[in-house]
Amino acid sequence: MGSYILKRLLLAVPVIFGITVIVFLIMAMIPGDPATAILGSYATPENVARLNRDLGLDQPLVARYFIWLGNMLHGDFGQSFSLNRPVIDEVLERFNNTLILAGTSFVLCTVFGILAGVVSAARQYGFADKAITFVVLLGISIPSFFLGMMMILIFAVDLQWLPVSGMYAIYGGGDLPDLLHHLTMPALALAVVATGVVARLSRSAMLEVLRQDFIRTARAKGVKEGRVIWGHALRAAMVSIIPVLGIQAGFVLSGAVYIEIVFQWPGIGRMLVDAILQRDILLVQGGVVFVAACYVIFNIIVDVAQSLLDPRIKT
Amino acid sequence: MSAFFKLLARNRLALGGLIVMGLVVALALITPLLPLVDPDATNTANRFLPPFSDGALLGTDALGRDLLSRLLWGTRLSLAVGFAAALFAAVAGAAVGIIAGFYGGRTDNIIMRAVDMLMAFPYILLALAIVAALGPGLVNALIAVSVVNIPFFARNIRGITVGLANKEFVDAAKLAGMSNARIITSEILPNVVPVIVIAMSTTIGWMILETAGLSFLGLGSQPPQADLGSMLGEARSALITNPHTSVIPGIMILIIVMSINLLGDGVRDALDPRLKSGALSRPMAATRVDRKHTPAPEARTEGILSLENLRTEFHVKDRIYKAVSGVSLSVKPGECLGVIGESGSGKSVTALSIMGLVASPPGVITGGAARLEGRDMIGARYGDLRTLRGRRVAYIFQDPLATLHPLYKVGDQLVEAISSHRAISKSEGRAKAIELLKSVRIPNAEERVDSYPHEMSGGMRQRVGIAMALANDPDVIIADEPTTALDVTVQAQILSLLDDLRRERGLAIVFITHDFGVVAQLCDRVAVMYAGRIVEEGPTMEILRAPAHPYTARLIACVPELGAGKRKLEAIPGLPPSVDALPAGCAFADRCLKAQPSCKEGEILLEGTGSRAVRCLYPELSLSKETA
Ligand code: SF4
């Protein structure tokens, strides 16, 4: 197992390397002099000088890439000019907030998606199946940002159950109950689409598995139907559900950008949008590379989980 | 293609989606012709008019602009941008995919590596990076969304191109000296275009949503121009005071995306052949029972297990396949009954019907009884049936690689057979599992208990299957072709194992096979099935010596040397009739050398005296005379 994890980690190195190349090339598309483009309205002479020194902007493209990469490997993602603090500090702080939001949503979509999918498959064409199928269709069709706004109208404005936005109450907040109070709506809004996708996939994976011969064997042994469904069938279906969970994690992370804007959640998605509007290029660059690399690592965890579940995968 | 549209039309939800989408598109197309107010004309005196106000059907927004007009123009813009993004992504992705797939080798490798890298991003990060570089704006958002989706198309199209690039007509074109560009445009492109179109239609809703999303973030369309996303984004600041400005564009996006999703589902279903045949429905816990006449729940029977006039059908759409039509059998403790027939004769369905294991849908038991010590199990409650399964009547199936759970250790699967019927501790379970493995002569049982099925040989797996059947000391074992997948030596071992077990434990065995050689080795009595019915029945040795039914005679003639010949029935010309359209009279008549016109009329009964019976008007051997 250890060697398998190591192997997967080694395979991730070129992918992360490729990610930096792609981001670098995209940013190199910015027309005009890079220093002024990066600095925009912050192009004071000392900032320009600092940037030229840090990023080697007077050097050819390839050299510039390796200087940038070298800096990042030392944990130096550059300076955010709009915030006047190191990019990495801001990114880490914001990413932490995003993880709380997206992580909760990911758990929600996994649990409820699989639950709904299994029930739907076990009761195929029954009432529960039809109801779930309809809700799922609605769920995957409603834009998360619109859903979030409607939730604010209903649960925050009308019913006043939950706060409109933010991560903590401004006065006297900051503890866990306060966080959960603020987290509920955005986490739910973010989870809806992914839950729908996971539910659909789980349903078809379960239907596929329930037709297999080993399910008939389990029934012939006299295994209780509940265990046939939630044990034998789900266990086998997980083999095709888990890779989709990996993909869904990417969608949850993407959707977090909208949800963070709607609910004023101080996460990395909102940071990126603000940075784009402020034309703080280094902040965008650093944030994108950092999150993409984290996502690659998350997918390794998914692969490892898959290999733990399926003894047929060579480790 | 027209069949495809028919299928699509039959899916009512998809049709609904198509109609709604058509309406929205039509509305967007005629928007410039409608008598609408200028969508960008501000009127600060009329800010935030509610819907159904005079002169503003849907009200006005923060700048007093008419919402209906803005909604229609915004829809038009959103649809156009989404469509353009999809088209751009499809064309660029297809180009990349065709080049990679057609040229293969290094080109393919490098391109697909790059595509993999792009797919390693959560999609919005890439889009944000592109917008960051190009600057906010509708065109840049469109570019960003297209680029992000190029890998999806590239991958799909590449897969298809690789398949095409190896086809003969491409080779022929190459030999004919056609240039690569000509081959791509004349041979490859026409074949991939339908795929591109379908992939595009399934992603277009997604593209509309994504471009609307970027506009919502303020990174897409810039004021005063507005698509649905930016309308929603601008309305957000007035969400609480004037919700209608948000709700209106939001609902429009919902309608568009939902109708496209419905349509996409319909397209997918229409294209997925498994759904057409209904094969994706899952079998229920027990076969559906729908009997016209309910037999007495209890009756005195000969033998431990007896079937009375069992009927099982498959109901597929409006067709009825009579897989088993009136089979009666019985087996005594310590006895082995062979049920033999070609595939499709109904022998396996008969076996599975006993414990309600026929996949249902489509299987339905429509008549008869299956009695265990006189008690009918066909009408039994599921809960009762379950406690009998595996405990009193156990099954051994063909092909244990498919019939054992691939992800559970064999030991755990054995223990589960016991724990489903009585509580058993972990250590006792393990000891019992090892004992069971030993009883079926598996070497190193202590280690094998922790193996997964894929780590064992076919013969070993089948022994596990037998051990599992023995776990609860059942009274009856139903073995459904348990040796078919095995080679001859292993087969002989398994057969002698079963024979020993039945003698030691007094098991009743129903042995389903298509091989008279196997029957001869193991079974005391044999029933020959053809087209869902028993055509001959009697003691194995007598039947082998002097078969009465022409079909039995031919089956026996097919086995050159008992137990050693080829394991397949063959060389009977013709095919059995399809069980959804059985002819009148004898089902074997079309293949029978002795057939007379009278064979094709009326019902032929299973008749005989003593231990033998035959369903034939002109048997090879007259049973009544012989036994009289
Ligand atoms: S009934 Fe007639 S057709 Fe059928 S097996 Fe006997 S002889 Fe042949």
- Secondary structure string (H, E, C) spanning B170-234: HHHHHHCCCCHHHHHHHHHHHHHHHHHHHHHHHHHHHHHHHHHHHHHCCCCCCCCCCCHHHHHHH
Task: Burial-class residue A22 by CB neighbours within 10 Å (0-12, 13-18, 19+).
Answer: buried
CA distance A253 to chain B (A): 7
Q: Is B588 in the pocket of ligand 1 (CB under 6 A)?
A: yes
A-chain residues near B125 (CB < 8 A): 253-254, 272, 288, 291-292
Residue B137, domain CATH: 1.10.3720.10
Q: How many CB atoms lie within 10 A of CB A113?
A: 27
Nearest to A19 among B117, B281, B386 (CB): B117
Nearest CA to ligand 1 atom 6: B616
Model's pTM, two decimal places? Answer: 0.85
Nearest to B420 among A224, A292, A296 (CB): A224
Q: What does the alpha-carbon distance between residue A157 and residue B406 come to, in Å, rounded to a whole number?
A: 52
CA distance B286 to chain A (A): 9
What is the per-residue pLDDT for B569?
Answer: 45
By the CB < 8 Å criterion, does A70 face chain B? no
- Answer left, alpha or beta for residue B375, where phi above 0 means left and psi between -120 and 50 means alpha: beta
Reading the block at residue B255, the tokens are 């309608």
Residue type, A95: F
Nearest to B132 among A212, A216, A276 (CB): A276
Judged by DSSP in three states, B301 sits in coil
Residue type, B475: D
- Which value, to the nearest 10 degrees, does the dihedral of the CA atoms of residues B371, B375, B378, B381 take? -160
Reading the block at residue A103, the tokens are 């992580």
Task: Burial-class residue B192 by CB neighbours within 10 Å (0-12, 13-18, 19+).
Answer: buried
Judged by DSSP in three states, B37 sits in coil
- Is residue B452 one of the residues assigned to a domain? no
- Answer left, alpha or beta for residue B237, where phi above 0 means left and psi between -120 and 50 means alpha: alpha
For testing contact with chain B, the best of A15, A214, A235, A294 (most B CBs within 10 A): A214
Nearest to B217 among A164, A204, A261 (CB): A261
Q: How many CB atoms lie within 10 A of CB B515?
A: 24
- Which value, to the nearest 10 degrees, does the dihedral of the CA atoms of residues B6, B9, B10, B13 take? 150
- The answer to whether B352 touches B362, Cβ cutoff 8 Å, is no
Q: What does the alpha-carbon distance between residue A244 and residue A228 come to, in Å, rounded to a whole number?
A: 23
State which of B275, B303, B336 marks the end of a domain.
Answer: B275
Instruction: Give residues 196 to 225 of A whose Cβ lies within 8 Å of B.
Output: 204, 206-208, 210-225
Q: Is B621 in the pocket of ligand 1 (CB under 6 A)?
A: no
Q: Is B604 in the pocket of ligand 1 (CB under 6 A)?
A: yes
Lowest mean pLDDT among A65-69, A257-261, B52-56: B52-56
Task: Burial-class residue B336 by CB neighbours within 10 Å (0-12, 13-18, 19+).
Answer: buried
Pairing of strands B288-289, B336-340: unpaired
SS (H, E, C) chain A: CHHHHHHHHHHHHHHHHHHHHHHHHHHHCCCCCHHHHHHHHHCCHHHHHHHHHHHCCCCCHHHHHHHHHHHHHCCCCCEECCCCEEHHHHHHHHHHHHHHHHHHHHHHHHHHHHHHHHHHHHCCCCHHHHHHHHHHHHHHHCCHHHHHHHHHHHHHHHCCCCCCCCCCCCCCCCCHHHHHHHHHHHHHHHHHHHHHHHHHHHHHHHHHHHCCHHHHHHHHHCCCHHHHHHHHHHHHHHHHHHHHHHHHHHHHHHHHHHHHHHCCCCCHHHHHHHHHHHCCHHHHHHHHHHHHHHHHHHHHHHHHHHHHHCCCCCC
Q: What atom in ligand 1 is closest to the CA of residue B599?
A: 2
Q: What does the alpha-carbon distance between residue B96 and residue B93 come to, in Å, rounded to a whole number?
A: 5
If you ran DSSP here, which 8-state letter would residue B486 be given? S
Domain of B116, in residue numbers: 2-30+77-275
Reading the block at residue B155, the tokens are 């991958």
Beta bridge partners of B538: B526
| Per-residue confidence band for A177, with pLDDT thresholds at 50, 70 and 90 | confident
Q: What does the alpha-carbon distance between residue B431 and residue B248 come to, in Å, rounded to a whole number?
A: 68
Distance of CA A193 to the CA centre of its chain: 13
State which of B218, B242, B275 marks the end of a domain.
Answer: B275
Interchain pair A29, B134: CB under 8 A:
yes
Q: What does the alpha-carbon distance between residue B502 and residue B571 come to, in Å, rounded to a whole number?
A: 34
Instruction: Give residues 80 to 119 of A whose Cβ lies within 8 Å of B.
Output: none
By the CB < 8 Å criterion, does A23 face chain B? yes
By the CB < 8 Å criterion, does A74 face chain B? no
Is a pLDDT exceeding 90 seen at residue A105? yes
Reading the block at residue B336, the tokens are 């082995």
What is the per-residue pLDDT for B571?
Answer: 57
Q: What are phi and psi of A267, to 5 degrees?
A: -100, -170
- Answer left, alpha or beta for residue A165, where phi above 0 means left and psi between -120 and 50 means alpha: beta
- Is residue B409 one of the residues assigned to a domain? no
CA distances from B423 to A194, B416, B474, B617 (A): 40, 10, 17, 55
What is the per-residue pLDDT for B340?
Answer: 92
Q: Using alpha carbons only, what angle is made at residue B316 by residues B313 and B317, rounded to the nearest 5 degrees?
A: 135
- Is residue B256 one of the residues assigned to a domain? yes
CA distances from B253 to A142, A150, B13, B57, B247 (A): 8, 14, 18, 19, 10
Q: What are phi and psi of B516, to 5 degrees?
A: -65, -25
Is a pLDDT exceeding 70 seen at residue A315? no
- The answer to whether B529 touches B310, Cβ cutoff 8 Å, is no
Pairing of strands B336-340, B525-530: parallel
CB within 8 A of B553, min separation 6: which ones? B547, B620
What is the per-residue pLDDT for B3?
Answer: 64
Q: What does the alpha-carbon distance between residue B606 and residue B561 come to, in Å, rounded to a whole number?
A: 29
Q: What does the alpha-carbon distance between residue B11 and residue A190 come to, in Å, rounded to a whole number?
A: 30
Interchain pair B282, A288: CB under 8 A:
no
Nearest alpha carbon to residue B457 among B443, B471, B472: B443
The DSSP string of B413-478 is HHHHHHHTTS---HHHHHHHHHHHHHHTT-TTHHHHTT--GGGS-HHHHHHHHHHHHHTT--SEEE
Q: What does the alpha-carbon distance between residue B355 and residue A60 come to, in Å, rounded to a whole number?
A: 77
Q: Is B111 in the pocket of ligand 1 (CB under 6 A)?
A: no
Judged by DSSP in three states, B398 sits in coil
- How many residue pairs from chains A and B have C-beta atoms closer than 8 A? 232
Look at chain B and report how many structural domains it folds into.
Answer: 2
Would you say the C-alpha torsion B225, B227, B232, B233 has a positive or negative sign? negative
Mean pLDDT of A263-288: 87
Reading the block at residue A136, the tokens are 């799922």
What is the per-residue pLDDT for B559?
Answer: 66
Q: What are phi and psi of B536, to 5 degrees?
A: -155, 145
What element of type H or E holds B83?
helix B67-103
- The answer to whether A43 touches A36, Cβ cutoff 8 Å, is yes
Beta bridge partners of B325: B311
Q: What does the alpha-carbon distance between residue B556 and residue A32 come to, in Å, rounded to a whole number?
A: 89
Instruction: Give residues 226 to 265 of A whose Cβ lies within 8 Å of B.
Output: 227-228, 232, 235-236, 239, 250-251, 253-255, 257-258, 261-262
What is the per-residue pLDDT for B627?
Answer: 43
Q: Is B553 in the pocket of ligand 1 (CB under 6 A)?
A: no
Instruction: Give residues 182 to 211 of B whose Cβ lies within 8 Å of A.
Output: 209
Between the CA of B619 and the centroid of ligand 1 the distance, in Å, is 7
b/e sequence A89-105, b meaning 16+ C-beta within 10 Å: ebbeebbebbbbbbebb
State which of B275, B305, B334 marks the end of a domain.
Answer: B275
- The answer to whether B145 touches B210, Cβ cutoff 8 Å, is yes
- Is residue B508 one of the residues assigned to a domain? no
- Is residue B463 one of the residues assigned to a domain? no
Residue type, B167: K
Would you say the C-alpha torsion B135, B141, B143, B145 has a positive or negative sign? positive
- Is residue B267 one of the residues assigned to a domain? yes
- Is residue B612 one of the residues assigned to a domain? yes
Q: How many CB atoms lie within 10 A of CB B457?
A: 10
Interchain pair A220, B390: CB under 8 A:
yes
Which positions of chain B have pLDDT values less than 70?
Answer: 1-10, 48, 55-57, 62, 64, 271-280, 559-573, 624-628
What is the per-residue pLDDT for B585?
Answer: 84
What is the per-residue pLDDT for B628?
Answer: 36
What is the per-residue pLDDT for B395?
Answer: 92
- Is residue B222 one of the residues assigned to a domain? yes
Q: What does the alpha-carbon distance between residue B615 and residue B573 come to, in Å, rounded to a whole number?
A: 20
Distance of CA B265 to the CA centre of its chain: 17
> Within 13 Å, how many C-alpha atoms sit on residue B47's CB side?
8
